[in-house]
Structure 1
Amino acid sequence: MKVLISGANGLIGSELSRQLRSEGHTAIHLVRHPVNGPDQIFWDPMASKFDPAAIEGIDAVVNLAGATTGKIPWTRRYMTELIDSRINSTKLLVDAINGAKNPPKVLISGSASGVYGDQGDKWLDETSPKGDGFLADLAHRWEQEAEKASCRVVLVRTTMVMSKKLGALGKLLPLIKLGIGGALGSGKQWWAWISLEDEVRAIKHLIETESASGPYNLTAPEPATCEQIIRELGRQLHRPTFLKVPAFAMRLLIGIAADELLLCSQKMTSHRLQESGFEFKHPTLVQSVGYVIS
């Protein structure tokens, strides 16, 4: 296959490219710097610069572009960037797909668990309603833009991606390694999670599964709370995890991002993904943490 990837230099995009190339596929990166090889195509979504001819002959488009939500605190200006970087890039790709004489067979477009908002202990599947909050509104708009494409569209609702390169664990893992980590807030909030390897394997599976369309939760089948995840990291690293961070302190330090990213609870199911034939390599928390710290 020839797969066009936006956000190809990010955590997920770079691993997707590696896996595709290792299997003999062609991964083509959309880049915002001067092109320096046949596997790169220039674009500038903020300026609506993209040659629509680049979409011709592509089998699949994987849209992962978007400013990181991990840059905190979120200022008003950065929240606007979070929106524009996703909506503008998706619109540009969709317009190119819809205008192509030989369009791609599928668009795999990024979304996020944030679409559900804070839902406590409720099980969340792909039919669960949109939640409240900034990230819920953003993910919903992102999905709506992708669904305008004339090809098969798959919306990958990504959760916390656990990686050897830290990824969504961000600054948490180094603190645990130092023995000064602990649960955030009450620690009882559900954190949906998936290993980087399974995240990318799921994206490839959804590209190749012609019956797959619409939203899919990209989350491991075993649910876990914030406290359980941090405790397991500490156990496998042989470090204590007793130092809890109070919710009020997090809100003072990082503002709205505390509630939207770290204190909200999302207990997501992977049933739809598994029913499509996908098998996890790291289905349990113990296995995924072992993958991260190995």
Structure 2
Amino acid sequence: MRIVLAGASGFLGTRLVSRLRADGHDIVQLVRRPARDPAEVTWSPSSGQLDPAALAGVDAVINLAGAGVGDKRWTDGYKALIRSSRVDSTSTLATTIAGLPATDRPAVLLNASAVGWYGDTGDQPVEENAPAGEGFLADVARVWEAATGPAESAGVRVVRLRTGLPLHHAGGLLKPQLLPFRLGLGGKLGSGRQWVPWIALEDWLRAMTFLLGRDDIAGPVNVVGPAPVTNAVFGKALGAAVHRPAVMPIPAFALHVALGEFATEALRSSRVLPGVLTQAGFDYRYPDLPGALRAALADGP
């Protein structure tokens, strides 16, 4: 397949590019700087600029673009960037796709979203048919997903990837926690009762290739593991994986001091289940947390 990918320089994007190329796919990356070779195309999502020829005749488009949610403290300006970086990239791709002749449109758009769509679910398990929740990230996810509308209206299969927390030592959920846990300073966050929607990075990558090839799957898909756990259980499992105790809880007030408004989102409970993937018969390589953690810590760069 010839696939155009936005957000290829991020933690997930770089690994997905490597996997897809290893599988024999032809990958074109959208970049904001001047293109360096034929495998790159320059675009400007903030101004809605993308040459339609970049998407004409390709088989699929994957959009993972967006500023990191936990990369910086949440000022009003950074919250605006979190929102605009997602909505602008999605809108630019969807409108460009819709503007192509029907015979030139890609068959599928896999567009990133997040389990933040559901807000705080408490102990209630939710699948893809659950409504949007409340809070900043839920509001972002709502407009983010809505921005795919033009492509969907044009008849393109659109999959909205409500991704959980991929596990890998080099990024995502694990990277900032590894040092304190290896020093024996890890533990639960806040009460520890909030649910964590983790997924092994390997299973996230395999889910992407699975969804590319499943013409019968469209709409929201929860890209999470089949067995979410509470934060307290996650902390104990991570401590066991690095052979250290996990008995140093971080109280909620300390998180608010350290993280500001983002702490409220970090303490939300997301008991999200992969309804669509399970029904479609997706085969998880790491369905349980201990196995996923062992793979995450042993994996290469």
TM-score by length of 1: 0.97
Give the conservation status (yes or no) of the 8 Å contact 1:112–1:139: yes
- 2:290 corresponds to 1:286: yes
Partner residue, 1:233: 238
The Cα shift of 1:129 comes to: 1.3
CA-CA distance at 1:169 after TM superposition:
2.2
* 2:205 is aligned with 1:203: no
The letter for the 1-side match of 2:275 is H
Fraction of identical pairs, as percent? 39
Q: Distance in 2 between matches of 1:274 and 1:281?
A: 13
Give 1:269 deviation, angstroms: 1.0
Superposed, which structure 2 residues align to 1:22-171 within 5 Å? Answer: 22-101=22-101, 102-149=104-151, 150=154, 151-171=156-176
| Residues 120-165 of structure 1, C-alpha deviations (whole Å, 9 max, x = no match) | 0001100111100000000011011113212110001011110131
| In 1: Cα distance, 2:257 partner to 2:169 partner | 30
Letter in 1 for 2:73: P
**1:252, distance to aligned residue in structure 2 (A):** 2.0
**Paired position in structure 1 for 2:276:** 272
Q: CA deviation at 1:48?
A: 2.2
**Alpha-carbon distance in structure 1 between the residues aligned to 2:149 and 2:175:** 31
Q: Deviations over 1:145-197 (max 9, x none)?
A: 11321211000101111013132223111111111111110111001010111
Aligned to 2:5: 5
Unaligned runs of 5+ in 1: none
Q: How many residues align?
A: 293
Distance, in Å, in 2 between the alignment partners of 1:228 and 1:290 is 15
Aligned residue identity for 1:271 = G
Q: Work out the CA distance in 2 between the residues paired with 1:42 and 1:177.
A: 41
Q: Shift in Å at residue 84 of structure 1?
A: 0.6
The SS at the match of 2:229 is coil
Q: Distance in 1 between matches of 2:118 and 2:291?
A: 26
Give the AA of the match of 1:274. Answer: T
Structure 1 counterpart of 2:98, which letter? N
Give the whole-Å Cα distance in 2 for the aligned partners of 1:27 and 1:15: 12
Q: How does 1:242-261 map to 2 (within 5 A)?
A: 242-260=247-265
Contact residue 162 and residue 193 of structure 1 kept, 8 A: yes
C-alpha separation in 1, matches of 2:116 and 2:175: 18
Quote the Cα distance in structure 2 between the aligned partners of 1:152 and 1:271.
19
Distance 2:170 2:268 in 1: 24
The two structures, once aligned, show a CA RMSD in angstroms of: 1.0
| Structure-2 separation of matches of 1:88 and 1:161 | 24
